[in-house]
């Protein structure tokens, strides 16, 4: 983490966002969904699985289980077989059914729109909760996935490895109206350029704003 004031960090992250918007004008959540509950299900399936694979599974899944009540009454074996290709299918099926039952029983079938209630649901951590709050409900959210964790550290905004600590550090410096979109921009950039373990610093549009990249290029 570089020696910057909060004001300097805020100014730099705004510049980074504007550059990334130009680089990735179509950046958005890469999971396909139509309702908050569908996003919750897709996010549970996405653990240790690619979004591309999840998007291959969910059309059939959502056709068979069109709403939260259908998931709440789903047969475990049938659901497991439908999500098997996403990996860890037994735990995922259990979490999907349990969370659906909790939503029906405790929230009248409506997925909560706040972090504290969402993280109380089975299979929902802060990353998924922020994703739902930000993308499904359009509220300010800070989604910290592996890409955000890696890229924000390289950009010098954090020294932390803990996603929750990174989330709260970013909340201090991110503009609220850009906070959700920031994740999607970073995901696109992380996949295309700021890869692990070999980032393409030589073609990175953020090079002048990235302490990691500048140091790495100076050593070449």
Give residue-wise pLDDT tens across range 76-134.
Answer: 999 999 999 999 999 999 999 999 999 999 999 999 999 999 999 999 999 999 999 99
pTM (predicted TM-score) = 0.94
The domain made up of 6-27+142-218 has a fold known as: Endonuclease Iii, domain 2 (1.10.1670)
By residue count, the chain amounts to: 220
- C-alpha distance from residue 194 to each of 8, 75, 141, 187, 216 (Å): 22, 42, 23, 9, 12
* Residue ranges of the chain assigned to CATH 1.10.340.30: 36-110
Checking if the pLDDT of 220 tops 90, the result is no
Architecture of domain 36-110 in CATH?
Orthogonal Bundle (1.10)
Checking if the pLDDT of 1 tops 90, the result is no
Cα distance between residue 201 and residue 154, in whole Å? 11
DSSP state of 110: P
Report the pLDDT value the prediction gives residue 219, as an integer from 0 to 100.
83
Cα distance between residue 204 and residue 186, in whole Å? 12
144-192, pLDDT tens digit by residue? Answer: 999 999 999 999 999 999 999 999 999 999 999 999 999 999 999 999 9
Which among 26, 27, 30 has a CA at the least distance from the CA of 185? 27
**Chain-centre distance for alpha carbon 78:** 28
Checking if the pLDDT of 3 tops 90, the result is no
The Cα angle at residue 147 between residues 1 and 172, in degrees rounded to 5: 50
R_g over Cα of the chain = 19
Cα distance between residue 208 and residue 220, in whole Å? 16
Checking if the pLDDT of 20 tops 80, the result is yes
- Do 7 and 41 contact (CB within 8 A), yes or no? no
Checking if the pLDDT of 2 tops 80, the result is no
Which pair of structure tokens corresponds to residue 79?
Answer: 């659901």
* Residue ranges of the chain assigned to CATH 1.10.1670.10: 6-27+142-218
């Amino acid at each position: 983490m570089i020696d910057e004031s909060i004001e300097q960090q805020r100014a730099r992250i705004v510049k980074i966002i504007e550059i990334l918007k130009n680089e990735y004008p179509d950046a958005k959540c890469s999971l396909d969904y139509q309702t908050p509950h569908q996003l919750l299900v897709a996010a549970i399936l996405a653990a240790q699985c690619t979004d591309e694979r999840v998007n291959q599974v969910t059309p059939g899944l959502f056709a068979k289980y069109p709403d939260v009540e259908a998931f709440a009454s789903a047969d475990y074996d049938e659901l497991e077989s439908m999500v098997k290709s996403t990996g860890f299918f037994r735990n995922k099926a259990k979490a999907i059914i349990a969370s659906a039952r909790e939503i029906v029983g405790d929230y009248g079938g409506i997925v909560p729109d706040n972090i504290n209630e969402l993280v109380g649901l089975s299979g929902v951590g802060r990353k998924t909760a922020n994703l739902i709050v930000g993308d499904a409900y359009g509220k300010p959210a800070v989604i910290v996935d592996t890409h955000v964790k890696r890229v924000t550290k390289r950009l010098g905004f954090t020294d932390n490895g803990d996603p929750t600590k990174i989330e709260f550090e970013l909340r201090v410096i991110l503009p609220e109206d850009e906070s959700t979109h920031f994740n999607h921009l970073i995901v696109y950039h992380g996949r295309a350029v700021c890869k692990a373990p070999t980032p393409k610093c030589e073609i990175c549009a953020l090079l002048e704003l990235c302490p990691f990249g500048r140091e790495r290029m100076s050593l070449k």
